[in-house]
Amino acid sequence: MDTTETIRCAGIELVGPRPSGRRGFVSRVVYVVRSLARWIDALIERRRGRLTLLEMTDEQLRDIGVSRGDAHREGIRPFWD
């Protein structure tokens, strides 16, 4: 039976089997690095979406139900927020 290890990092929960020994350590490091890469990718994607809001026309914003002010407030937020 595998033991489940949970690591909480910046609101992201990393769950997976807990390997043991030297090979287990390397596996855990690889797992954490991959998880961090996915987290960073999500931050970048969030930033791209916010920048897209700033580029939209008033008509496009109206279609999605967002005001120009709301789009501006969302667009200038930092990527980590």
Predicted confidence band at 78 (pLDDT cuts at 50, 70, 90)?
A: confident
Predicted confidence band at 25 (pLDDT cuts at 50, 70, 90)?
A: confident
81: in domain: no
Predicted confidence band at 22 (pLDDT cuts at 50, 70, 90)?
A: confident
Residue 24 is predicted with a pLDDT of 83
30: in domain: yes
β partners of residue 15: 6
CB atoms within 10 A of CB 19: 16
71: in domain: yes
Tell how many helices (H) and how many strands (E) occur in the chain.
3, 2
9: in domain: yes
26: in domain: yes
**Can you give the residue range of the structural domain that contains 31?**
4-15+22-75
Phi, psi torsion values for 24, nearest 5 degrees: -65, -40
35: in domain: yes
- Share the mean pLDDT of the chain: 81
**Residue 76 corresponds to which tokens in the numbers above?**
């200038």
- The pTM (predicted TM-score) of the whole model is 0.60
80: in domain: no
pLDDT tens track for 38-75: 999 999 999 999 999 999 999 999 999 999 999 999 99
Q: How many domains does the chain have?
A: 1
